[in-house]
Structure 1
Amino acid sequence: MTSTREDLWHILECLTAEQFKNFQWFLKEEDVKNKFPAIAQARLEGADRQDTIDLMVQKYRPSGAVQITMKILGKINRNDLVQDLSNKSNEDHKISAALPCEDETRRAKLREMKARIDLMIKDRQMKICEVRRTAELSRKSAERQTSDSMRAFEALVASVQSSLDKLIGEIDEKQKMTQKQAGGLIQQLEKEIYELNKSSEEVEQLTKDQRDSLPSFTNEMLTEARFPQPSYKETVISTVTQLKEKLSKDMEMFLAVTELNRLRQFAVDVTLDPDTAHPNLILSEDGKQVHCGDIKQTLPDNQDRFDQVINVVGKQSFSSESFYYEVQVKEKISWDLGVAKESINRKESIKVSPENGFWTICLRAGKYKASRVHLSVGSQPRKVGVFVDYENRSVSFYNAESAELIHCYTDCSFKEKLRPFFSPGTLRDGQNSTPLIICPLYHNYQI
C-alpha cells in the first residue's frame, strides 16, 4: 500500500508546468463551501510538487489533501487524473478497510499466543507447587527418619550399655568369688604354716634319741592347695553373642518400621462404596466401617453391587500411582482385605485369586491365607496395611503395629483401575460382628 503523499506526487507529476502553476493558484484561494482555507502565497512561491504536497497534507491532513486535489484537477480539466486518484483512494480505502480484519486476526493470534503463554506459566506454577510440596514432604520425611534413627540408635546404644553393664557385673561377681576362694585358701595355708611352725619348734626341743626315732614327714597338705586362674572368656563370648543376636533383631525391626513409615507417605483416604456393598453388609455413615448383618436389606440391584458374596469395594479407584491404606481387624475371626480390578465379576461367586483380578489375604479359622498360599504370621495383626506399588507391580500386606511383612504378591498384572477390596466375613453363631474399620492415617504416624 502506497502512502497518500506518494499518490499525490504521482498525480502532480502528470501535470505540465502551466497546469501545476494553475493548481497552485487555486490553492491560494479559500474554498469556503468545502471549508478548505487558502494556503499563503508566500509559502507557495518557489514550492515544487513535493513541497506543495507537504503543505497540503500539513494544512488539510491526508484525506483533505486528496479531496482538494481532486476538486482542483477538475477545475483545470484533468478529470483523467481525478479518476486515477479516485481509484487509488478507493484501493487504499479497501486496503485500510481490510486492515481491521488483519488487525483482528493478528489480535486473535496474539490472544491465542498469550493464552498459551499463560497456560505455560500456570503449568510451571503448578510444577513449582508440586516441587515445593515434594520438597516439604522430603523435609518432613527426613525429620521423621532422623527422629526414628535417633530413637533406634539410642535403643541400640542402650542395649550395648545394658549388655556391657551385665558383662561387667558378671566379671565382677566372678572376681569376687575368686577373691573369696583365694582368701579361704590363704587362710587355710596360713593355718597350716602356723601348725608347721609349731611342729618345727617342738622338733627343736626333742633330745637326740627322740630325733632318731621320728617318722618321715610328707608334703601332702601343700599339694592340695593349688588355685586355678579364673577364665572370663566364656562369659564374654556368651554376652557378645547374645548382644549380637539382639542387635540384629533390633536392626531388622528398625528397618522394617522405617520401610513401613516410608510407605505411609503414599497413604490415601479410602471410603466404602455403598453402591457395591452386598445387601447383608452394614456400612457406617462416614463409609469407614463395615460389618455383616443377619438381615438381607432391600437395595437397588445395580450392576456394580455384589449379590453372591459378602464383599464391598472402595469408592476410590487407582490407575497409575502407588497407594497405601490400613484397616483394623482386631477381634475378628474372619475377613478379607486387598485390592481388586474394577471389572471383577460381582454377580457370581468366583475364586478370589490374582488370575481373577484379586490380590488379597484372608483369615479363616485362625489361619492366614493368600490365594492358595498358607501364611506364617509371627503375631496376630490387629491392623493390616495394604500397599500397592505400581512401578514394581506388587501388592504387599503388613502388620501395621509390628511392621512385619505378612505377604507380597509380585509380577502383578495392573492393566486397569484398581479398587480397595473388603469382606468383613459372615456372622458365625453371633461371632464376627466386629466391623472392619478403615484407619485414619497421618504422615507423622509412628509405631
Structure 2
Amino acid sequence: MASCSSLLSEDQFLCAICLEVFNDPVSTPCGHNFCLACISFYWENAAVCQCPICKTTFVRKPDLKVNTFISGLAAQLMSLQVVEASVRISDLHRAKPGCRILCDVCTDSMNEAVKSCLECLTSYCDTHLEPHQRVAGLKRHTLVEPLENLEERICKKHNRLLVMFCKTDDLVLCDLCVKLHHLTHDAVPVERAYRERKDSLGRTEAKVLQMIQNRLQKVSEIKESVKQREEDERDVWVSTVEDLTDLVSDIQESQAEIIRVIEEKQKAAREQADDFIADIESEMEELQMTNTKLRDLMDMEDHLCLLKVSPSQSRLPQTRDWSTVSVNSRLSVEHMRTSISQSVSQLRNTLDEMNAEIKKYSYDTQMSNVEALMAAQQHEVDFRLDSSTAHPLLVLSGGGKRVSYGTMIQRLPNNPNIFTEHLAVLGERGYNSEFYFQVCVGQKTEWCLGVATESIQRRGVLRRRDCGLWAIWFIPDKFETFDSPNVPVHWGKVETVGVFVDYDGGQVSFYDVATATLIYSFTECVFTERLYPYLNPCDNEYGNNSDPLILLPVGHTV
C-alpha cells in the first residue's frame, strides 16, 4: 500500500501545544490551529490572550468553533495510518517461502511442522505426525503443506481449505461449497480475488488521497480568496468611512453656514427695523408738536389773531412715505427654504441608493444560491425510472417519469433487484461525474429523495449510516436527512426539488427550485461507485399521499 505520507504529513496535523494529532481542532483569527481543549487551557493560565505560535494578542478571547474540515482530514489521516499498520501486521504473519511454521504439539523443543491436518486443525512435526501415518482412523485425515492460522483457512461445514471467493455473495468458500451452493455465481480462486481486491483498494486509496489533496488545495484557495476578499473589503471600508466622514463634515459646515447666514440676516433685519422705528418715532414727535400747534390755533376765537398767524405754522412737517417700507422679505426666505429642501431631498435619494446597494450586497449569499443553482442545472441529465428496482407496491407511469404509492402489488416480490422494505425505485442510469435532476413533489405529505449506490441493500430495512444512500426525508413542514432522523435541517414546504451531485467534490446538494434556496448539502463524501437517482414517494402515514413524484425537466412546470 502506498504510504499516505506521500501526500499528507502527520506533522501538518499535530497540535503545537500537546504535539498530538488534532482532537476537535479549532482555528484562531491569526490562522493557526490547536486542539480545543489545549488552547482553552493555555488561555486560562495566560496573563494575556495571545496565539502560542505567532504571539498575536487578542483584545477579547475569540469564540472558537471546531473546524470540521480539518477534523475530517485528521480522521482520514488516522484511518489511513491504521490501514497501513494492519497491512504491515498481516504481512508479518503471512506464511512466506522460508518462514518456519512450528509444530502445535511440541512443548520442550519447538520443532518445525512438516504437515498440517485439515481435520485436526493442527500442524505437526515429523515426530508428532507419526500417529497419522500409523493409526487407521488418522490415516483418512487430509494432510497438506504447513499452513499458518489453520482454523481461519478451513471451511467449517466441509473441513476443506477455503480456496474460492464468491463475488456474488462476497464470501470465502471451499471448492465443495461452490459446487453445492454457488455453482451459478461468479466464483474465482482466492489468489485472484486477493489480487483484484488489492488492486481495488489501491485504486480507492489513490482516489481518497487525491481527494484529500484536492481538498487541501481547495482549503488553500479558499484561505487565499478569503484573505484577498478581506483586503478588498477593508479598502472599501476605509475609503467609505473616509468619504462619509468628509461628507458628514461638509454637511455640518453647510449647517453651520446656514445658521450663520440666517443669524446675520436676522441681525441686519433687527438693526434695520430699529432704524425705521427710530425714524418713525422722531417723525411722530414732530407730528405731535405740529398737532399741538394746530389745536392751539383752532382754539383761537379772535379772528384777526388767527388770520395774522403765518400760514407756515399750520403746514405739515416733511415726513417719509412709510407705506412702501418693509423688513419682511419673505420671497428670499422662501427661496432659500426651497433650495435647501431640494438639496436635502437629492441627498436623501443618494443615501437611499447607497443603502439599497448595501442591502443588495448583504443579500450576496442568496444571489450566490441562485448562481449555484443555475450552474448545477447546466449538468441536467435525462433518465427513466427502473421498474426492475421498484418496490412491489409502487405504481410507475408508462414513460418511467412518475412514481406513486399504491395499495395493490404491481410486480413480483421475489425479484432480487427490487426494494422489499423501502418504497423506493432507482433511475435506470448511474453516473460517476457531475449530474443534476429535478423532482416535483407537489403537495405530498411525505417523501424521500436523493442518490444511492448500485450496491445499496435492496432487501430488508436499510441501516441509517454508511448504507450507500444520500437522501433528504420530508415529513410535515420539516426536512431531515435519512441517516439522522429527528434532526431537522430545514423547515417549510417545497414543490420542486433540485438534486445536484458533485461527484469528484464529494457533495450532494438539494435546492428549493422556486426560491433557489439551499435545503441541505452532504459534504466530504467519498464515492467509489456510480450513483443512481433514488425516489421514495412513501405511504399514507401523514394523510393522503397518493400524489406522484414527477421527474421534471428544467424550465418545465406540471
TM-score bin (small chain) = 0.3 to 0.5
TM-score (norm 1): 0.47
Higher-Rg member (1/2): 1
Larger RCO, structures 1/2 (Cα 8 Å, 6+ apart) = 1
TM-score (norm 2): 0.38
Structure with greater proportional helix content: 1
